[in-house]
Amino acid sequence: MMRKRCCIAFICVLIFTICPIPLQADEADPEVLLLYSIDKEQQMKEVHRLDLLTGHFTNDISLYSVEDFLQSSEEIDTFDRVLYLRRAKGEPEQETIELLNRYEGPTYFIGKAMEAFKAGESLECIEEIIFDTIDDGEDSITLQSEKVVDYYEIPPSTNVMYSTHNGAVPLIFQQDTDFFAPISEIDEQLGAYIGETLFSFFNQKKGEAKISLRLEDIHPMYDPTKLKEVGDYLRKKEIPYMITVIPVYTNPKTGEELHLEDAPRLVRVLRKMQEQGASIVLHGYKHQYRKTVTGEGFEYWDVQNDRPLYQKPNEARLGPDDFATQEEYDDYVAQGHAFERNYIENTISNGVNELVEQGLYPLAFEAPHYAMSLSGYEVLSDYFSTYVGQVQTSNNTHISAFSPSYRSEAAMLDGMTLIPETLGYVREGDKKASKKISKNYQYFSRFSDSISGMFFHPYLGVDRLEKVVNELEKDHFLTWFNLKDEYNKVEINEFVIESNAGEIVTNKEEDEVLTSKVWWGIVPLLVGGIIFFTQSSKKPQDLDQAQ
């Protein structure tokens, strides 16, 4: 009996060795409260931009207007850190002051009336000042446009992190564990400086700058020869890159569709590039909503009416005045949300399926022209863990795209990780494109953990790309970002694609590998067990015969 128990235990140990169960205990991200006070809906884009900046340091962000937070059951003291964005004019309400004064943890104040709170009681606002430079103690950077800051007189002990007007006017400063940024807006340039100070606010280590490259808008009508030439060049240079693929090309005049299966030469080139290290990114399904050219049209935004996709392309846009009652209009809007969700789900499912059928495994998604409603990101997050490019930060207009300098797990992305794009692209006919991209990289690479993304259209020819890379290498030491080295997950209809450390695995492959491992591991054990038990049962019989 003891021999049998030992054998069973031995078999169990070997089985668990063959099929180990991974154990993982991640350190919890800090719980962050992002509070805001705004006067109009259009200002929500700044809330989402601050969310994207904060998402580099935690994926546990709660967004509340002050009014909604006061009516909720949440307690401010349960949060590890608080960021307060104030764009509302006038003095803060007494309830707002009491709420933030009650909080004893680190607080980051951005915007107006910071002197009204206990943390800012030593500050005195003098006047509004226009500025167009930022000083970091070593360099003075000229901004693309003029900005406005509230000029505060501050105590001598204040840690001024960034200033303007030759250091005379503080832009971002720190007192103890509290931070202050009395600037008038959060755009990509100023946002990058706020993002840099968040490393201190969250006590987080700073990492090196990286650069990423995407080959953009590859569809079934694309020239495989030009694509291959670019891929061969990048392979020789050992530069990792992404390829954004549009599975369907639609003729805008005839409506005729061409799918990847109709372009075998292109598919062979894409497969080879994938084998050699390229990462595939799904770039919509058709890259068009109305009868526009594939690769140029919008797909997830009604650009003609500048609003989310609430109806079919040939249906008229309706507003509140087109309905007899508010209830009827609300029903219409609800139907619009359902249409948008269904549209996104169908195109994503079709896109992934058609790529996989051709042996291409997407690791991330990029919306055409970065245009998608906030609810669209929520739908997208059900299928993709990674989003590439810039993010639309408003439901009111697509002209609100924003990208932080680093990756982000913002609340608005509903669990997705953003891989940013800040450098722009090579425009056809722009002879200064290489220098512009190099100059942009010089700017964004100064920021910690930055991933400065750019994209390139291969139809421009390998010579144009080589010129860009040479310009960058001439002026900078480059560390290239490889999407395939990151953890990415795509899940469609129970089919799962995952990548990590340069490898791509699907659940189908895992099942086959697992079955093979278990089979080839268990069969010898079972055979050995049978022999063992047979011999064990024979020995007493032999002894009896011997006696």
- Antiparallel, parallel or unpaired: β 210-218 and 178-181: unpaired
R_g over Cα of the chain: 29
Q: Give the model's pLDDT for residue 17.
A: 41
Enumerate the β-bridge partners of residue 365.
Answer: 282, 387
How far is the C-alpha of 288 from the C-alpha of 104, rounded, in Å?
51
Selected residue with higher pLDDT from 166 and 365: 365
Confidence of residue 252 (pLDDT cuts 50, 70, 90): confident
Q: Give the model's pLDDT for residue 293.
A: 61
Q: What is the mean pLDDT of residues 12-39?
A: 66
Q: What is the mean pLDDT of residues 429-450?
A: 95
Tens of pLDDT, residues 121-145: 999 999 999 999 999 888 899 998 9
Place of tokens 């006038």: 90
Tens of pLDDT, residues 211-232: 999 999 999 999 999 999 999 9
How far is the C-alpha of 349 from the C-alpha of 282, rounded, in Å?
11
Q: Give the model's pLDDT for residue 38.
A: 96
Name residues whose C-beta falls within 8 Å of residue 97's C-beta, 6 or more positions apart in sequence: 116, 117
Short-list 63, 65, 61, 62, CA closest to 41: 65
Name residues whose C-beta falls within 8 Å of residue 311's C-beta, 6 or more positions apart in sequence: 302, 317, 318, 336, 339
Q: Give the model's pLDDT for residue 287.
A: 58
Share of the chain above pLDDT 70, in %: 86
Whether 11 has a pLDDT exceeding 50, the answer reads no
Tens of pLDDT, residues 12-23: 444 444 444 343
- In angstroms, the Cα distances linking 412 to 51, 60, 396, 425, 499 are 7, 11, 15, 26, 24
Q: What is the mean pLDDT of residues 472-500?
A: 95
Q: Give the model's pLDDT for residue 281.
A: 98
Instruction: Let me know the angle formed at the C-alpha of 310 by 308 and 315, rounded to the nearest 5 degrees.
Output: 120
DSSP states along 148-214:
EEEEEE--TT-EEEEEETTTTEEEEEEETTEEEE-BS---HHHHHHHHHHHHHHTT------EEEEE
Write the class of the CATH domain 32-201: alpha beta
Q: Where are the domains of the chain?
A: 2-18+511-546, 32-201, 210-501
At 275, which helix (H) or strand (E)?
Answer: helix 264-275
Share of the chain above pLDDT 90, in %: 73
Q: Give the model's pLDDT for residue 294.
A: 62
Q: How many CA atoms lie within 13 A of 3 on its CB side?
A: 8
Q: Give the model's pLDDT for residue 518.
A: 37
Q: Give the model's pLDDT for residue 18.
A: 41
Q: What is the mean pLDDT of residues 400-418?
A: 97
Q: What is the mean pLDDT of residues 419-429?
A: 95
Whether 527 has a pLDDT exceeding 50, the answer reads no
Selected residue with higher pLDDT from 375 and 19: 375
Enumerate the β-bridge partners of residue 453.
Answer: 212
How far is the C-alpha of 245 from the C-alpha of 260, rounded, in Å?
10
Tens of pLDDT, residues 493-524: 889 999 999 999 998 754 443 333 334 444 44
Please, what is the average pLDDT of the chain?
Answer: 88
- Alpha helices in 103-244, H assignment, sequence order: 188-201, 224-237
Q: What is the mean pLDDT of residues 49-61?
A: 98
Place of tokens 């860009």: 468
How far is the C-alpha of 430 from the C-alpha of 444, rounded, in Å?
21
Place of tokens 């750019």: 454
Short-list 265, 262, 260, CA closest to 248: 260
Selected residue with higher pLDDT from 421 and 292: 421
Short-list 301, 302, 296, 299, CA closest to 217: 296
Q: Give the model's pLDDT for residue 531.
A: 47
Q: Give the model's pLDDT for residue 21.
A: 37
At 161, which helix (H) or strand (E)?
Answer: strand 159-164
Using an 8 Å Cβ cutoff, are 155 and 389 in contact?
Answer: no
Selected residue with higher pLDDT from 109 and 518: 109
**Farthest CA pair distance, the chain:** 111
Instruction: Let me know the angle formed at the C-alpha of 186 by 181 and 190, rounded to the nearest 5 degrees.
Output: 70
Tens of pLDDT, residues 278-332: 999 999 998 556 566 665 678 888 887 878 888 777 777 788 888 989 998 889 8
Tens of pLDDT, residues 459-468: 999 999 999 9
73 residue type, one letter = S
Q: Write down the architecture of domain 210-501 according to CATH.
A: Alpha-Beta Barrel (3.20)
How far is the C-alpha of 125 from the C-alpha of 291, rounded, in Å?
54
- In angstroms, the Cα distances linking 291 to 255, 260, 286 are 8, 20, 11
Q: What is the mean pLDDT of residues 327-347?
A: 90
